[in-house]
């Protein structure tokens, strides 16, 4: 992978900057400095919102934060990305704010981390979601409803800009949908044989946290807290580190094959 390659949006911003300054021909070296892709990690829930609760009392918010921090370290180690997080401690962040944070950071990829709480204890494994007005199945619709309701009791975010308000009211653009679908497939490939997955792990539903039309966005349910094997796996620091490495591999695949491929095209 070309470490400093732009996303399509960053390349457009760069080109517009050159046009605005009237630069033609060979640009000075400082004008061609390229920034690293920005990855926004979103550990689900937090603060007064524990998320799913395992039968023995383990909180989803605790596991998502621990995994998010492990993923941040794994991405830092590659030296390929600038990494941002919607939270780095046990605080509540409204769903709208998580989207706004990704917009403010000019994120090139947004990944929200969660854990399932399913009605059947024998169900286990990860699942990967992209945004869709219509859920891919009843289970996906139920999961999206639970996650969206987590922020329903929060007060409306004050001072929302027209840009963010528009994002919250719209669906993804075609290019963003393609990016989200591509990263979903990259995660599935990276997890195969290494991370347990639900049958048909790539699903879609109307998640509020995925509604930024400018950023490829995915929601990863890392496992089921209602399943003893999944809970033990997610509570184990070594297993979370493995999960972080496999997500990092998927992110590498995404920026190598999709973003660089779009640039080449």
Domain ranges within the chain, ordered by starting residue: 34-149+162-264
Average pLDDT of span 178-186: 92
Return the higher-pLDDT residue of 120 and 25: 120
**Which range has the worst mean pLDDT, 58-62, 69-73, 114-118?**
114-118
Cα–Cα distance, 149 to 165 (Å, whole number)? 19
Mean pLDDT for the chain overall: 77
Total number of residues shown for the chain: 265
Is 169's pLDDT higher than 60? no
Structure tokens at 103: 């917009």
CA nearest neighbour of 34 among 9, 3, 78: 3
Residue 212 CA, chain-centre distance (Å), reads 11
Cα–Cα distance, 210 to 98 (Å, whole number)? 9
Is 181's pLDDT higher than 80? yes
pLDDT in tens, 154-164: 444 344 445 54
* Continuous H helices in the chain: 8-20, 60-78, 95-104, 138-149, 162-169, 174-191, 228-235, 237-253, 260-264
pLDDT of residue 214: 77
Structure tokens at 51: 């998320």
DSSP assignment of 112-181, as one string? Answer: EEEEE--S-TT--SEEEEEE-SS-SSHHHHHHHHHHHHTTTTSPPPTT--HHHHHHHHSPPPHHHHHHHH
Contacts of 114 (CB under 8 A, 6+ apart): 44, 45, 51, 52, 60, 64, 147, 219, 220, 221, 222
Q: Considering only the top CATH level, what class is 34-149+162-264?
A: alpha beta
Band of residue 262 on the pLDDT scale cut at 50, 70, 90: low
CA nearest neighbour of 207 among 136, 163, 128, 143: 143
CA nearest neighbour of 111 among 180, 23, 195: 180
Band of residue 26 on the pLDDT scale cut at 50, 70, 90: very low
pLDDT of residue 49: 96
Residue with tokens 């399943």: 227
**Residue 208 per-residue DSSP state:** G
Cα–Cα distance, 162 to 148 (Å, whole number)? 22
pLDDT in tens, 204-260: 766 665 666 678 999 999 999 999 999 999 999 999 999 999 999 999 999 998 766
């Amino acid at each position: 992978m070309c470490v400093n390659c732009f996303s399509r949006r960053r390349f457009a911003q760069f080109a517009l900057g050159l046009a605005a300054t009237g630069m033609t021909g060979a640009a000075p070296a400082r004008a061609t400095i390229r920034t690293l892709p920005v990855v926004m990690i979103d550990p689900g829930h937090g603060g007064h919102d524990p998320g799913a609760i395992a039968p023995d009392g383990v909180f989803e918010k605790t596991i998502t934060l621990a995994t998010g921090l492990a993923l941040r370290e794994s991405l830092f180690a590659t030296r390929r990305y600038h990494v941002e997080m919607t939270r780095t401690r046990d605080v509540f962040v409204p769903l709208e704010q998580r989207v706004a944070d990704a917009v403010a950071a000019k994120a090139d990829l947004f990944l929200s981390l969660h854990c399932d709480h399913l009605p059947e204890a024998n169900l286990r494994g990860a699942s990967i979601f992209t945004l869709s007005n219509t859920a891919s199945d009843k289970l996906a619709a139920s999961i999206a409803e639970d996650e969206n309701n987590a922020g329903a009791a929060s007060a409306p975010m004050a001072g929302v800009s027209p840009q963010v308000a528009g994002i919250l009211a719209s669906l993804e653009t075609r290019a963003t949908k393609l990016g989200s679908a591509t990263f979903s497939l990259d995660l599935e490939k990276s997890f195969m044989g290494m991370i347990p997955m639900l049958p048909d792990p790539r699903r879609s539903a109307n998640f509020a946290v995925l509604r930024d039309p400018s950023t490829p966005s995915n929601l990863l349910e890392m496992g089921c807290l209602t399943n003893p094997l999944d809970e033990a796996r997610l509570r184990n620091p070594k297993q979370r580190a493995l999960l972080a490495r496999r997500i990092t591999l998927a992110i590498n695949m995404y920026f190598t094959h999709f973003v660089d491929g779009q640039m080449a095209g």
